[in-house]
Homo-oligomer: A and B are copies of this chain.
């Protein structure tokens, strides 16, 4: 099958180049000496920092965030020791931290309903080698997209949802993803996710909302936008929390509309914003560029 073939080649090549590329993520209370300690540590491991971003939220007594990409010979073999050695530094600075190999990709499960544009976009980006993650399954409450998804060699699970079967459906979903997927993408899934699910996948469920949040929270945002007569419509990718459409925002974008656009035209224009915004958010999360602090994100891109 053409799709799989092309995709696999592009990705294998990219991956080979990055077997020794590592990533370090740090959040901690700000204080002097963090950068010095971390960079000295990496230097002593002969690691070369190829990219480094940092941000201090509220310099007086605030939070410090850092993301480093580094190259280090034989990273695979030395990763466990690297982590062990870093734990001491991390403790002394009260860090939340993670060190990973870039080639250990996040595994995504994509949830979708009837609207396919966000799913199509993610699959295309993935196949083009632009989405640095594994797509391990697609789960849908409809069966429409099965052929298309399976043509990429990706398993498709049809789990119908009705008010009566909702709890059971979610139980089956969790069963499917648990231990197999690291991140859940709600690609216009249009079903409320239960608190229990959100708890298990904390800051790992990305939803695309079809408005420029916090404008038009809730249902039928394009109808709301039409009624209010806005001159720009937008979309918002955010982590899902218990508060409806209230979680940390990862990315937003807008497009200009005129008085002549009716609700269908708003939807049409909006579809392109939605898929672009979601794809960016997923890509950044896949590359560990998104750090969450309280209800906000720090995005290093």
Identify the A interface with B (CB < 8 A).
1-3, 6, 31-33, 35-37, 39-40, 42-43, 46-59, 71, 116-117, 120, 124, 128, 130, 144-148, 151, 212-216, 228-232, 234, 248-254, 258-260, 262, 268, 271-272, 276, 295-299
A230 contacts which chain B residues (CB < 8 A)? 213-214, 249, 252
A103 to B71, CA, bound (A): 38
A6-B144, A54-B52, A297-B229 known; A271-B128 Cβ under 8 A:
yes
Interface hub of A35, A128, A213, A297 (most chain B Cβ within 10 A): A35
A116 contacts which chain B residues (CB < 8 A)? 128
A130 contacts B268, C-beta separation under 8 Å: yes
A3 to B120, CA, bound (A): 12
With both chains docked as a complex, state the minimum distance between the C-beta of A257 and any C-beta of chain B, in angstroms: 10
A250 contacts which chain B residues (CB < 8 A)? 231
With both chains docked as a complex, state the minimum distance between the C-beta of A43 and any C-beta of chain B, in angstroms: 4
Q: Could you name 17 residue pairs across A and B whose Cβ atoms are closer than 8 Å?
A: A31-B48, A35-B35, A51-B55, A130-B268, A214-B215, A214-B228, A214-B230, A228-B249, A229-B295, A231-B249, A231-B252, A232-B252, A232-B253, A232-B254, A258-B299, A259-B297, A272-B276
A272 contacts which chain B residues (CB < 8 A)? 276
With both chains docked as a complex, state the minimum distance between the C-beta of A218 and any C-beta of chain B, in angstroms: 13
| Given A35-B52, A212-B215, 15 further pairs, Cβ under 8 A | A1-B147, A6-B144, A32-B47, A32-B49, A36-B39, A36-B42, A39-B39, A50-B56, A50-B59, A59-B71, A229-B297, A230-B252, A231-B250, A232-B254, A259-B297
A147 contacts which chain B residues (CB < 8 A)? 1-3, 151
A23 to B251, CA, bound (A): 31
A32 contacts B36, C-beta separation under 8 Å: no
A213 contacts which chain B residues (CB < 8 A)? 215, 228, 230
